[in-house]
Structure 1
Amino acid sequence: MFKKVKCYHCGDACVEGEITSADKSFCCAGCKTVFELFTENNLTCYYDLQNNPGATPPELEGKFDYLEQTEIREKLIDFSDDGVESIQLFIPHIHCSSCIWILENLNKLNEQIITSQVNFPEKRVQVTYKTKSFGLKDLVLLLASIGYEPYLSLENMEKKKTDIDRSLIYKIGIAGFAFGNVMFLSFPEYFEVSEYWLDQYKPIFRWLMFCFSLPVVFYSGAGYFVSAWKGIQSKILNIDIPIALGISVLFVRSSVEIMADLGTGFFDSLTGLVFFLLLGKLAQQKTYSFLSFERDYKSYFPIAVTRLNHDDLLLEEKIPIYEIKKGDRILIRSNELIPVDGILVEGDAKIDYSFVTGEARTVVKNKGEKLYAGGKQQLGAIELIAEKEVEQSYLTQLWSQDAFVKDQEIPFKSLINKISKHFTIAVLSIATIATTFWLFFDASLALNVLTAVLIIACPCAIALATPFTLGNLLRIFGKQGFYLKNTDTLEQLADLDAFVFDKTGTLSHTQGDEILYEGEQLTDEDYILLRTTLRNSNHPLSRKLYAFLQSQKIDTLDRFEEEVGKGIVAKVNEKEIKLGSSQWVNVPAENQNTATTVYFSEDETYRGKFTFQANYRNGIWSLLKSLFKNYQIQIVSGDNASEEAYLKSQLPFLKDLHFNQAPADKLIRIKETQERGLKVAMVGDGLNDAGALKQSNLGIAVAENINVFTPACDAIIDAKKLLHLDAFIEVAKKGKRIIKWAFFFSFLYNLIGLYFAVTGQLTPIVAAILMPLSSISIVAFTTLASNITSRNLKKINC
């Protein structure tokens, strides 16, 4: 019977004794080859990290002690509350898929880290961690110890854009200077000049080339060695390991030839290799800063907030959140997101910070305490004084956190996560086999083959295909009013099989409905009670009624509760008010009707009802007919069936119409559809539909002009652009095809390059030129192709 054990190198399951080396078991020949390579080069410390985790390298001792000062830490940290902190750090050394994998798996290195997410184009990482036995200093030390020391500057943290790392410019200058001089000193060797060269100057020229190579290897190329070594210490195979190995082999071989007077070495290839590698890194950084994928609502979509007049707090004004100024008094209703840091001045705050921390728990705050942006109020309305202007990019980052990604397989993401480890193992294996072959058949080519293979096979081009294609489409979608959480969400949009639509607030407008009141005559006191109660709710019907009742005096609530899908109950001046469905208010049968209605009672006594006549969006029927050609369509509504006949007259082909659906019923409908093997998108208003939005494969919240989106949704679409949903889906599908073509070109480049490298026809210096060019060409292709594909979206009128 076969005994299952863990692979000594990667930890995957394997059969004991099937593939072995030095009494160790391995899952594949690749892991065995890498282990043997490490053993031969005295790098077995790679496997010792877990024996002494958390050890601080001597060179970092005391370097970040200033981060223990409260004043400095508060300026750097984005969020700090209830034992959890969150910060966004600029990491200059992020440059490939290996970097992404390492930085998004920091929780494997320290259990106090909750989540970490990389913004690849901007070279930033957002980290959320527990502070019980861990702090900002510990986080920075951890990052520095694995080769990703963050650039910390209070001035830098306040800027949106980051400049090119100046140290990279210096390294390129030194490498370029040395490369030019080494090439010049190599001319006599190239042209086989004799006489004076042979007798007097050959040794001098060769030692000069050696001297020029020293700053190139130990300064300009030092970053590759540091990154490779820290990757090995952390048991992570990053892409800098083969590059550092190639530089080392060239330098050692060339130095031995000079010292033993065996030849001139390969200092021209060595200095040229480092020079062109650094040039490629510079070009990539400039490309990243030119192509910004940040989905900044400030530029595109004016999600609004309610600002109160300083002189008359009853005067409310809807403003885009980017217009908030320090000192403004802001009204936050139940289930609204707090857009800015501020001080609580009115109301009972029960804040859900899962938007920031990823942990589903609420925090109670009292008047005078600080509230952080990203929290969601759970208990009625509150008022706060803004401490700063809104940080839109921070809210966007919170919305994009992996904590809210559905628990399902994401093919492109898993490919990028796995490609780093397996690709590097494959490259090392190919390099070892090819070099061994040439050592026996033509030893003079073995060194060139080893170095060329290690350089040409860099997977950076493959790693860039997905983020740049989907990232550019995210930017374009955002400009047109459709905001997706992240690139995975865009991919899911292209893979859907069915759509489930809510009716109220989705197919119909949330504004412009005709409202009729039937019941006892309302007094001024009744108006005050109703307005005070409705002011705390963010349900679409509550917002309509609040506007319909016009401006009245507002009292302070003694109690407020809202039951999703049922209604609200509040207590004001010893009077209990109920608003909601007929079951919630206990309405007599003779007063119930079949239209969309909000019923009203006072102290358990029925008083009246507000009836709404739905006003459907222009063009919504055309959208549903278009989608029906390729997808299954359902309509689920919490309202009664009073409009069933009208909907069937507009959509005679539609069979799945469901009314009187509570939030739990909508969620069940989604589950039943998914159990048939279909990938489902839920399109709703983000409130009563929260459960269904989260259960669906893709939750799309339709937004009018208020800040109501929650972590349950994966996308927000401007209500005006909902009619063009089919056009967005078509572009997303074309985006996937672009990625497949980019993958094809990337793999084709690697196959062709590896063929010439393995056969000894490719020199290291040419490989060093081709590697960055391949990455830049992939970025150019995906950006151009995605722009052309989405050109029809740009024709959509607001």
Structure 2
Amino acid sequence: MQTTVNNRSTCFHCGEDCPDVPYHIGEKSFCCEGCKLVFQLLNENGLCDYYDLNANPGRHQRIKVRKDKFAYLDDEKIAQRLIRFRQENEVHTTFYLPHIHCSSCLYLLENLHRLNPGISRSQVNFTKKEATIIFDEQQVSLREIAEILTSIGYEPYISLTDLNGKKPGLTKTMIYQLGVAGFCFANIMLLSFPDYLGLEEDTPLFNTAFRYLSLILALPVLVFSAMPFYTSSFKALKMRFLNIDAPIVLAIWVTFGRSLYEVLTGTGTGYFDSFSGIVFFMLVGRVLQDKTYQQLSFDRDYSSYFPIAVTRLKHEKEESVSLPDIVPGDTLLLHNEELVPADSILTRGKAFIDYSFVTGESVPVLKEVGEIIYAGGKQVGSNIELLVIREVSQSYLTGLWNRNGNVTRERRSSSFVHRISTWFTYIVFAIAIVTAGFWAYADPAKIWTSVTAILIVACPCALLLSNTFTNGFILRILGRNNLYLRNAEVIEEVATVDHIVFDKTGTLTTTDQHRIDYKGRSLSAQEQQAIASLAAQSLHPLSKAIAAHLGKERISVKAFEEKAGHGIEGIVNDDLYAIGSAKYITGRKYAGTDTNVFISKENQLVGRFRFRNQYRETVPTLLDELKGKYNVTILSGDNAGERASLRIMTAPGTELLFDQQPQDKLNYIRQLRREGHRVMMVGDGLNDGVALLESNIGIAVSESSNAFTPASEAILEGKQLGKLHSFIRFCKSNRKIVMASFIMSILYNITGLFFAVQGLLSPMIAAILMPASSISIILLSACTVHITARKLGLTN
């Protein structure tokens, strides 16, 4: 393999550096043959507008996807479970495409029909990174569509979860409930205008008809749209707990009951507008909350991480097999970047296994023939063969997951909103009883009118509105900063934290960068250039890291040869260089525990590159911000080699614990909670799962919000870890904002009660107070949340 480069250029397709320049079309340069082929494909089909929308919008194609990777989609049983609709010549399917990132992607993916006539239409959901494709299976198969997407740089991610049909998000029922409530509320308001304007005496016939129409429109709101509040209050009462939904349900029924009475007896128009408005605005708040985290699934299992099928060797032939059909004794063929689906023994080849998902450690581990490879690891390198020794459901990975599932949290304390609403309800009942007693002596005819008016006006819906909208706005802003909470209740939990426990590897450190130290004789600039050029020829992650670390201009490499699992060698500047393991370079195994890559020149040892974890740039600042405000502990499964570095960054008294196994982390969190601490655990990898579940708040750090993460209360993108202190402060503002909105609503309630206790609450006053109260609370919540976020640097 020989490459030559004089000047570094960027790829026209993906924008990455071109270390080699043999790939040209006219004046356009490409970093690899794959990028060049994608450009040719788009050019032949008139889709080069793709490059006009964004500069270098593509993704590099240096890692080729093997030809039969999607062969399992030819299996009708698997294909049927991925197809959403099938009728004659029209089939609908949806693929998750994690590489969607810009408007160029939308343009290209919505023009797939120009690449293959069998595709009639494609539509992209940018937020969910999904593409819905409609095609004729007589002209193109599901497998071919997956291959087309892969060929243009949008390889679909298909996992067992897709087969199980697990899709997080808003339920259709909630959308229908909101739609019905909004439709009915708007029409009832229109039908109530004669009453608002005092025209009921001028149009008595129409007025009566409008009242009955309002009654008919209110019935779906009562029976269907308000169902979430009935369900919530019923569950709470079964647990002997009075949540905020219980008094709201009472207010809903009292409002409807009095309105029904007035319409049937002809004594009034009722409060159907207020009744439907209450339900509509509260549903809007809940949908706002749910929509914020609809793209994420927090209750994940191993099927979210594993692919649908792998290659099995049977009678010396390759066949695709779905994971549930794998049994002990099967021989599996694993390719580069594929996951180990079940605990197995390596029977052929050299395995470099990336266990970053399970352990958080990103440096691949070398495995020799005869060694056990546990499920969840990813092969990095050439093909290997594995003998399955356990079923997928009985592997080490699923054992870890099931252990996580056995950890249960104590029941959380009720929200401060529920506690306030309980006292508020008692006060309202007291006012109603006093009012009823007064009118029993003064004018018994006004008892019904005044008491029902009090229960209608003093409904704690304003408190719920304030809470749901404030939570919704906070969740949205946190989501824009790549912190996704399981639900709104987590906001209050975050605000009460007093002890923060960090995992080190993969949390405080990055999984895609390393600190590289060189030990050995001094290298000249020419030697560094030669080593960088040789390392750049390999796809091994450690070789690529060395090439990036040296960063020298590439030169010609001759007689290049790579021995999988050992190292690489080649002639550079007429000298023989080799890079690889200690045994490959020196003939002896390295006795240390750290990760090293050895270098030789003309068969003489030159030195070695030592790999250490790279801390995220924001970690020192974050740890400094937390000093004196929270107790901090750092747990690590690694040895204590990083103790000195961490001691410099942390406050005196910070506990640093190393060589911690999953059970050790779990026991430590339990001990903190027994001591009365409110614990936040920040970690990544499945081995942190039990500790995340045991803590009051578990935050799973991920390099991508769509990547697999352990069950947790929150998912945080790794790049945003430095904002953790700001996130906690932002969540603490929640209570102040809700209380400010609640005080405003009390002012409206006092105004309404002033008229209600006297039996003077007219439809006009009710029509003004209800929307004015709701809208002003929403505006106050929105303004205060965004002002607070701006002060904390969470918005521009």
Q: What is the TM-score of this pair, normalised by structure 1?
A: 0.49
